[in-house]
Amino acid sequence: MKTSILKLKPLPVIKPWGLLHCRLKEITGIPAGIGELWLASAQSGDGNAASEIEGGREQSNLAELLENAGNDGSLEKWLGGAAMNSIANISCRGKTEAWLVRESRGFVGFAAGPPGELEKEKLKQLFAGPGLGPDVRQWSEEVRSLFGIITPLQNGESFLVPAGALHTMFALGEGSYLVVDEIQQGYGAGLLPTLSKTLLVQDSLLSVQVHPDDETVRKASAGELVVKQDLQSNPTVRVYDFGRRPGEDPELGFNLTDPASGLRRVNQLDLSLEGGRMTVIVACPQFIMSRLLIEAGGELDSLPVFGSYRVLHCTDGGVQVRAPGFGCDLTAGETAFVPAELESGLSLIACGESGVIDQAVPDLAALHRWCKEREIAAGDVEKLLHPPRAL
């Protein structure tokens, strides 16, 4: 199957905590909350969806395209060697994710998770007993400390959410909202190793969640660990949802919670490139996410090459995405999928001053080499790869 640059349609996913679609409310009176926009997804099965491809290809969505590529032997051309390694056993993937704060207003924040086993046990007793209301502002200082509440948030800061980290996020009060760019591991039978999202939270608190690691999913898959939830197809364990929906499993959630994990604040790596700037906002074995700022009329053509597909999401302005023989134009809100086969010739040309989120599955050795060539201190790279606990 011949590769090409694909433009993907965003998938709106309705959530009870979502940012209100103001225009819809104005027309219908119904306050529909859009909680997530899935930007690059090849997820399939109940509760999942794959990104539709613009341009009338034979395969209508990304999951179908990758499945067909697997059948005809061209999958590595689309995904690359690093990504192929990550899906060698697709039934045993846990869920690590990362967040970039794009925009925040009002009383907003994250929970880093309990700092120790004692605090974890107190939270468990709290959920089993009196419970909690959905407004963090009414929680006591002791309860906030148990959760490890981080507030305020600064636009542009990023956090790694390892498996085992008990977490949530919130935007509370009239006029408050939070927009977060998220990358996470793909899961289940999906052939794309990552799932790219934008989260939109308004005057609400998300459910308290925890995710399993790869080894836990492997044990559950092999029958070595008996759990109620199918962690392969649904690795999000909702510990507490403030009475909104059924499906909570606090017992499993606290069994998976590791206080030593916890939310981690990333030491970003910022560097100047000809034509603009690149800030690596998170890097780990599962994924890498960078923010590219391109000068008006500038061209970035010296990005690191990982042997991976790239997901490019334009956040500001407009860019021309180019690879030898292929190209597409993106404006703010649009997303392109660049197959690994075209990665080494990738360039981005800005029509005006523009911003792009760049995501991939990294070859960390290639990242080290690329940074060394640019005389970036090895210690700064290590700080990026091993971020400290946020609290």
Q: Give tens-digit pLDDT for 185-235.
A: 999 888 999 999 999 999 999 999 999 999 999 999 899 999 999 998 999
Q: Residue 186's pLDDT is what?
A: 93
* Half-sphere exposure for 49 (CA within 13 Å, toward CB): 15
Q: Residue 91's pLDDT is what?
A: 65
The tokens of 87 are what?
């899906």
Q: Is 91 exposed, middle or buried (0-12, 13-18, 19+ CB in 10 A)?
A: middle
DSSP 391: -
The residue whose two tokens read 């074995």 is 285
The tokens of 368 are what?
């080290």
pLDDT confidence bin for 24, thresholds 50/70/90:
low
Domain 269-385 fold is Jelly Rolls (2.60.120)
Give the model confidence (pLDDT) of 328-364 as tens digits.
Answer: 999 999 999 999 999 999 999 999 999 999 999 999 9
Exposure class string for 357-384: b at 16+ Cβ within 10 A, else e: bbbbbbbeeebbebbeeeebeeebbeeb
Distance, in Å, from the CA atom of 133 to the CA atom of 242, rounded to the nearest integer, reads 7
Lowest mean pLDDT among 100-109, 124-133, 304-313: 124-133
The tokens of 286 are what?
């599962």
Distance, in Å, from the CA atom of 285 to the CA atom of 283, rounded to the nearest integer, reads 7
Q: Residue 96's pLDDT is what?
A: 97
Residue 62 has pLDDT above 90, yes or no: yes
Give the model confidence (pLDDT) of 150-165 as tens digits.
Answer: 999 999 999 999 999 9
Residue 48 has pLDDT above 90, yes or no: no
The tokens of 152 are what?
């305020």
Q: Is 55 exposed, middle or buried (0-12, 13-18, 19+ CB in 10 A)?
A: exposed
Distance, in Å, from the CA atom of 108 to the CA atom of 202, rounded to the nearest integer, reads 9
Domain segments of the chain as ranges: 269-385
Contacts of 314 (CB under 8 A, 6+ apart): 330, 331, 332, 333, 334, 335, 354, 355, 356
Distance, in Å, from the CA atom of 263 to the CA atom of 150, rounded to the nearest integer, reads 10
What is the value of pTM for the model shown? Answer: 0.95
Give the model confidence (pLDDT) of 239-266 as tens digits.
Answer: 999 888 788 999 999 999 999 999 999 9
Distance, in Å, from the CA atom of 190 to the CA atom of 40, rounded to the nearest integer, reads 12
